[in-house]
């Protein structure tokens, strides 16, 4: 029998639930975009750095391009870490308001790794600055990319455990009684592995597409490097997108019956969002392949980026719906006690617009600063 969660909450919502849900999805998409660029970029930079360090006589040109790409990504890492953390904190705040009783309980059950996130994140941030500084002075050591990639993958794994366990309130009491160690990893959850793999592969696709776009604009100043960078980014984006369909549908099959039926026709809106999201991913893939061979691939790549952006937004909507459907049998609902605080909400909205503009400005300035070919 699935336990029913009491609805009494001692605090009112500071805004209507629909508005908080919208802000949760919006900030999560922004966080997801920055996180994908950061994690995927670190992995691609690591592979590029290793490739540059093992050049053979017949591969010197390609290995030189790989080293340059690793340096370019390294210079962008501090900005990406800042954007990921900023938008991630906002998303967590709205998650806590709507699902606090579940989220906080899961975080307590995984208290040790959850607190470890802060330590790992600080180490990743310092290493990102170190890599950025070294990229300006010379080659970035491979261990720096290793540390960043492994640290980010570990954080993603911990988050996947906490968010998955938050959807299993029926296990809370048994786990708490079994042990107060604070290391209750959610390894038995059938959705954990496909959800984690889907995130990792998705980050490679998004980062690869960003690299391809970056390379297409660099071709104006350095044809050889820009063309190589475009093709390399397309390879990562297309390859990761193709492979990512496997854990994506594995995750779908592992969902609880209520969520699965909603996506397969029981809820027309969610089914439409899911179907359009899949088609948008396929549309992005269809534009990526010819972009690798086009004389001027910018329009194709921009179209692929738009399609992938639509897919990310719709999959975030589907993810939120799956969460609600999974919790439906428990009777969980956000409190219906609302005491609007419109001034703080308005201030947040204004600061969110400013923060988005600031991040875009930083990224553009950074891209222009490193666009000039190396001497």
Asked if residue 62 has pLDDT above 80, the reply is no
What is the pLDDT, as a whole number, of residue 375? 41
Asked if residue 60 has pLDDT above 60, the reply is no
Structure confidence by residue, pLDDT tens digits, 304-336:
999 999 999 999 999 998 998 888 888 887 777
State the chain's mean pLDDT as an integer: 88
Interatomic CA distance for residues 287 and 267, integer angstroms: 30
Q: Give the residue extent of every domain in the chain.
A: 12-189, 191-335
Asked if residue 122 has pLDDT above 50, the reply is yes
Q: What are phi and psi of 338, to 5 degrees?
A: -120, 125
pLDDT band at 41 (very low <50, low <70, confident <90, very high): very high
Interatomic CA distance for residues 25 and 94, integer angstroms: 9
pLDDT band at 4 (very low <50, low <70, confident <90, very high): low
Asked if residue 106 has pLDDT above 90, the reply is yes
Structure confidence by residue, pLDDT tens digits, 237-276:
999 999 999 999 999 899 888 888 888 888 899 899 999 9
On whether the CB atoms of residues 375 and 113 are closer than 8 A, the answer is no
Interatomic CA distance for residues 116 and 154, integer angstroms: 10
Interatomic CA distance for residues 139 and 71, integer angstroms: 7
Greater pLDDT, 48 or 364: 48
On whether the CB atoms of residues 215 and 226 are closer than 8 A, the answer is yes
What is the pLDDT, as a whole number, of residue 55? 47
What is the pLDDT, as a whole number, of residue 3? 57
Residue whose C-alpha is closest to residue 217's, from 368, 41, 67: 368
Percent of the chain's residues with pLDDT above 70: 92
What is the pLDDT, as a whole number, of residue 54? 56
Of 173-177, 204-208, 302-306, 326-330, minimum mean pLDDT range: 326-330
pLDDT band at 2 (very low <50, low <70, confident <90, very high): low
Give the CA distances from residue 73 to residues 95, 153, 222, 235, in Å, rounded to whole numbers and listed in that order: 31, 17, 17, 17
pLDDT band at 78 (very low <50, low <70, confident <90, very high): very high
Interatomic CA distance for residues 176 and 275, integer angstroms: 39
What is the pLDDT, as a whole number, of residue 373? 47
Interatomic CA distance for residues 320 and 225, integer angstroms: 41
What is the pLDDT, as a whole number, of residue 306? 94
HEC profile of the chain? CCCCCCCCCCCCECCCHHHHHHHHHHHHHHHHHHHHHHHHHHHHHHHHHHHHCCCCHHHHHHHHHHHHHHHHHHHHHHHHHHHHHHHHHHHHHHHHHHHHHHHHHHHHHCHHHHHHHHHHHHHHHHHHHHHHHHHHHCCCCHHHHHHHHHHHHHHHHHHHHHHHHCCCHHHHHHHHHHCCCCCCCCCCCCCHHHHHHHHHHHHHHHHHHHHHHHHHHHCCCCHHHHHHHHHHHHHHHHHHHHHHHHHHHHHHHHCCHHHHHHHHHHCHHHHHHHHHHHHHHHHHHHHHHHHCCCCCCHHHHHHHHHHHHHHHHHHHHHHHHHHHHHHHHHCCCCCCCECCCHHHHHHHHHHHHHHHHHHHHHHHHHHHHCCCCCC
Asked if residue 35 has pLDDT above 90, the reply is yes
Asked if residue 83 has pLDDT above 80, the reply is yes
Give the CA distances from residue 260 to residues 139, 204, 332, in Å, rounded to whole numbers and listed in that order: 48, 26, 18
Interatomic CA distance for residues 201 and 205, integer angstroms: 6
Asked if residue 24 has pLDDT above 90, the reply is yes
Enumerate the β-bridge partners of residue 338.
13
Asked if residue 28 has pLDDT above 80, the reply is yes
Asked if residue 59 has pLDDT above 70, the reply is no
The distance from CA 214 to its chain's CA centroid, rounded to whole angstroms, is: 19
Angle 340-85-200 from CA coordinates, rounded to 5° = 115
- Model pTM? 0.89
Asked if residue 370 has pLDDT above 80, the reply is no
What is the pLDDT, as a whole number, of residue 112? 94
What is the pLDDT, as a whole number, of residue 1? 47
What is the pLDDT, as a whole number, of residue 52? 80
Enumerate the β-bridge partners of residue 13.
338
């Amino acid at each position: 029998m699935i336990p029913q969660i009491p609805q009494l909450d001692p605090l009112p919502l500071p805004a209507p639930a629909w508005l908080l849900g919208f802000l949760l999805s919006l900030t999560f998409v922004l966080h997801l975009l920055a996180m994908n660029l950061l994690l995927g970029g670190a992995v691609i930079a690591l592979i590029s750095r290793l490739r540059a360090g093992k050049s053979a006589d017949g591969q010197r040109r390609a290995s030189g391009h790989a080293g340059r790409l690793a340096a370019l990504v390294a210079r962008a890492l501090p900005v990406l870490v800042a954007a990921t953390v900023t938008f991630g904190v906002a998303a967590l705040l709205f998650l806590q308001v709507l699902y606090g009783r579940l989220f906080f309980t899961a975080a307590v059950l995984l208290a040790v790794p959850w607190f470890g996130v802060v330590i790992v994140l600080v180490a990743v941030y310092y290493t990102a600055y170190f890599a950025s500084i070294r990229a300006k002075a010379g080659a970035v050591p491979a261990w720096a990319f290793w540390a960043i990639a492994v640290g980010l993958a570990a954080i993603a794994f911990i988050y996947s455990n906490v968010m998955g366990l938050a959807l299993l309130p029926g296990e809370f009491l048994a786990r708490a009684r079994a042990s107060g160690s604070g290391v209750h990893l959610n390894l038995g959850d059938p959705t954990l592995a496909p959800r984690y793999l889907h995130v990792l592969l998705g980050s490679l696709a998004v980062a690869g597409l960003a690299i391809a776009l970056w390379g297409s604009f660099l071709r104006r100043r350095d044809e050889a490097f820009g063309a190589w960078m475009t093709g390399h980014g397309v390879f990562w984006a297309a390859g990761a997108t193709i492979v990512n369909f496997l854990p994506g549908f594995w995750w779908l099959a592992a969902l609880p019956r209520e969520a699965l039926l909603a996506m397969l026709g029981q809820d027309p809106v969610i089914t439409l969002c899911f179907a359009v999201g899949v088609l948008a991913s396929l549309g992005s893939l269809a534009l990526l392949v010819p972009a690798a061979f086009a004389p001027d691939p910018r329009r194709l790549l921009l179209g692929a980026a738009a399609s992938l952006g639509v897919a990310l937004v719709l999959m975030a909507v589907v993810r939120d719906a799956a969460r609600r459907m999974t919790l439906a049998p428990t009777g969980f609902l956000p409190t219906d006690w609302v005491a609007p605080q419109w001034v703080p909400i308005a201030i947040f909205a204004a600061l969110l617009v400013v923060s988005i503009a600031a991040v875009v400005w930083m990224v553009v300035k950074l891209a222009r600063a490193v666009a000039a070919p190396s001497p």
